[in-house]
């Protein structure tokens, strides 16, 4: 390979890119919904414990494997833990490929709602519009779905095409501050609403009698998804980190930011929902409900400054999604670059196009297309989209995560991992011994619990 390997220009650039990968539809779309389903408080507390006890140690593990080897998922695991572990990397690449294929479709919906809200802001929210029907019409409109997902795929490819510094890092540096600013504006507006107090109590007041055991596993499963763990994405991003930077500090910052943003998004959404009489009963039913059915109308009827915040909110969703899709595509592309010696520009277009073929399948899952809309492999999941989502969330991420944890905890020596995590830049709160205990025992047992639960029929998608 003649090309020089890319590197982040600075520690802040890397942290922003990795935080952008972590913050995505998982924070804005999935977390508020599962918090709702699991009755808030106690679930949130369990989630925080999972993030700290499992998510954070695995985040450090993935980053250290990447930086140590300076290779993407497949090569990195091979070199760090042994040749057979390359298969785990390949499993991760496949997982990134599959997740990207349907994640792009949801990202496309945010474009649709952006355009809609711009229209409503300009000429008023149409009286009597049923937003549930609107959602149904847009997902089943095949040409529209194809166009939006194609648009989003092109955006993703365009970023990754320019590489680590000029593509990924540059976009993350530009978009994350915008994303934070929009969230702060929305939070201020939401906290002024009458339902804010009730929302905060719902989210932060634990009542353990309302949490079912499966909620614990759901919290654990989501901590993987939201931190982009289990598929080598953080190994890949880690491989571009310079030597003189503390991995521990970076991991801590990424995990903290991701968690804060998930909580802020939840406070915003619940404040709105609790402010509207009867809304609390209507929400739920589906994950899309909150983001694409309840909220659009509420911006125009309830939220202070909603006519401005409405379109901004869907920009936020789109930006959060893009900083995640570019990281997913990077997992696949960097594998092709590193392991097959293909040059980045060509590799990006190739991978992006290959993924898009499957995006088409996901995009048409809600139209009347035989097979794509009827496929039924998993119970209660109909169509290509739901099948892919179920397979990734329930099977690929937990098994990949378990394997990565074992690779780092049991197939790398103490010296190998310690030299990456501990140096003069390591913050005082970090204890290598505690980390090693968590990565060898706590994390694998916890993740194995998810895998066993899935085998016994629990659904995390």
For binding to ligand TRP (CB under 6 A), which residues are involved? 21-22, 24-27, 99, 225-226, 228, 231, 233, 324, 327-328
Contact between 182 and 25 (Cβ < 8 Å): no
Q: Exposure pattern of 256-266 as b/e (b: 16+ CB <10 Å)? A: ebbbebbbbbb
The smaller minimum CB distance to ligand TRP, of residues 58 and 233, is found at 233
Count how many Cα atoms sit within 13 Å of the Cα of residue 79 in the half-sphere of its side chain: 17
SS3 of residue 85 by DSSP: helix
The smaller minimum CB distance to ligand TRP, of residues 309 and 392, is found at 392
Exposed/middle/buried for 99, CB within 10 Å: 0-12, 13-18, 19+?
A: buried
CB of 229 to ligand TRP, least distance (A): 7
Q: Exposure pattern of 172-187 as b/e (b: 16+ CB <10 Å)? A: bbebbeebbebbebbb
CB of 212 to ligand TRP, least distance (A): 23
CB of 30 to ligand TRP, least distance (A): 7
Contact between 384 and 360 (Cβ < 8 Å): no
Residues 430, 436, 441, 445: is their CA dihedral positive or negative? positive
The smaller minimum CB distance to ligand TRP, of residues 116 and 323, is found at 323
Q: CA 117 to CA 173: how far, in whole Å? A: 26
CB of 354 to ligand TRP, least distance (A): 17
Give how far Cα 192 sits from Cα of 149, 186, 196, Å: 36, 10, 7
SS3 of residue 46 by DSSP: helix
Residue 26 makes CB contacts below 8 A (sequence gap 6+) with 222, 225, 226, 262, 324
Q: Which two tokens stand for residue 172?
A: 């993350």
SS3 of residue 228 by DSSP: coil
CB of 245 to ligand TRP, least distance (A): 20
The smaller minimum CB distance to ligand TRP, of residues 328 and 372, is found at 328
Give how far Cα 435 sits from Cα of 62, 245, 345, Å: 13, 18, 39
CB of 181 to ligand TRP, least distance (A): 20
The smaller minimum CB distance to ligand TRP, of residues 22 and 139, is found at 22
The smaller minimum CB distance to ligand TRP, of residues 22 and 51, is found at 22
CB of 79 to ligand TRP, least distance (A): 21
Q: Which two tokens stand for residue 315?
A: 């920009």
The smaller minimum CB distance to ligand TRP, of residues 216 and 231, is found at 231
The smaller minimum CB distance to ligand TRP, of residues 199 and 254, is found at 254
CB of 215 to ligand TRP, least distance (A): 19
Q: Give the CA angle between residues 279, 285, 286 to the nearest 5°.
A: 110
CB of 335 to ligand TRP, least distance (A): 13
Contact between 447 and 405 (Cβ < 8 Å): yes
Contact between 232 and 93 (Cβ < 8 Å): yes
Q: CA 82 to CA 85: how far, in whole Å? A: 6
The smaller minimum CB distance to ligand TRP, of residues 233 and 272, is found at 233
The smaller minimum CB distance to ligand TRP, of residues 23 and 146, is found at 23
Q: CA 175 to CA 20: how far, in whole Å? A: 9
| E strand spans, 284-392 | none
Q: CA 461 to CA 459: how far, in whole Å? A: 6
CB of 2 to ligand TRP, least distance (A): 28
The smaller minimum CB distance to ligand TRP, of residues 275 and 334, is found at 334
CB of 231 to ligand TRP, least distance (A): 6
The smaller minimum CB distance to ligand TRP, of residues 74 and 276, is found at 74
CB of 115 to ligand TRP, least distance (A): 22
């Amino acid at each position: 390979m003649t090309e020089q390997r890319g590197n982040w220009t600075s520690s802040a650039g890397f942290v922003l890119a990795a935080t952008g990968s972590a913050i995505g539809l998982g924070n804005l779309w999935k977390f508020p919904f599962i918090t709702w389903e699991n009755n808030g408080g106690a679930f949130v507390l369990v989630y925080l414990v999972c993030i700290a006890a499992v998510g954070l140690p695995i985040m450090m593990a993935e980053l250290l494997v990447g930086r140590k080897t300076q290779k993407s998922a497949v090569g990195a695991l091979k070199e760090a833990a042994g040749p057979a572990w390359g298969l785990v990397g390949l499993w991760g690449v496949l997982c990134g490929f599959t997740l990207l294929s349907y994640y792009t479709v949801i990202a496309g919906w945010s474009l649709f709602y952006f355009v809609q809200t711009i229209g409503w802001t300009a000429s008023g929210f149409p009286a009597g519009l049923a937003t549930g029907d609107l959602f149904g019409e847009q997902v089943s409109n095949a040409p529209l779905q194809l166009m939006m997902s194609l648009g989003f795929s092109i955006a993703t490819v365009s970023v990754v095409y320019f590489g680590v510094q000029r593509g990924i890092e540059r976009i993350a540096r530009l978009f994350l501050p915008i994303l934070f600013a929009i969230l702060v504006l929305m939070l201020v507006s939401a906290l002024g609403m009458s339902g804010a107090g009730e929302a905060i109590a719902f989210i932060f007041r634990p009542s353990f009698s309302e949490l079912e055991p499966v909620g614990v596993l759901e919290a654990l499963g989501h901590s993987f998804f939201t931190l982009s763990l289990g598929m080598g994405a953080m190994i890949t991003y880690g491989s571009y980190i310079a030597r003189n930077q503390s991995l521990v500090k970076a991991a801590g910052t990424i995990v903290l930011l991701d968690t804060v943003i998930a909580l802020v998004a939840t406070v915003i959404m619940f404040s709105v929902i609790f402010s509207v009489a009867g809304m609390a009963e209507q929400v739920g039913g589906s994950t899309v409900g909150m983001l694409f059915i309840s909220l659009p109308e509420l911006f125009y009827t309830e939220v202070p400054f909603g006519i401005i915040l409405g379109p901004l909110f869907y920009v936020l969703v789109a930006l959060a999604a893009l900083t995640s899709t570019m990281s997913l595509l990077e997992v696949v592309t960097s594998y092709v670059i590193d392991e097959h010696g293909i040059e980045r520009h060509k590799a990006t277009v190739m991978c992006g196009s290959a993924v898009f073929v499957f995006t088409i399948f996901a995009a048409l899952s809600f139209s009347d297309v035989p097979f794509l809309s009827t496929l039924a492999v998993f119970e209660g999941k109909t169509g290509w989209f739901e099948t892919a989502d179920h397979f990734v969330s329930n099977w690929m991420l937990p098994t990949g995560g378990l394997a990565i944890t074992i690779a780092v905890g049991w197939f790398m020596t103490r010296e190998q991992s310690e030299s990456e995590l501990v140096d003069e830049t390591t913050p005082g709160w970090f204890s290598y011994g505690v980390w090693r205990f968590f990565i060898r025992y706590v994390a694998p047992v916890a993740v194995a619990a998810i895998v066993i639960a899935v085998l016994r029929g629990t659904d995390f998608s």
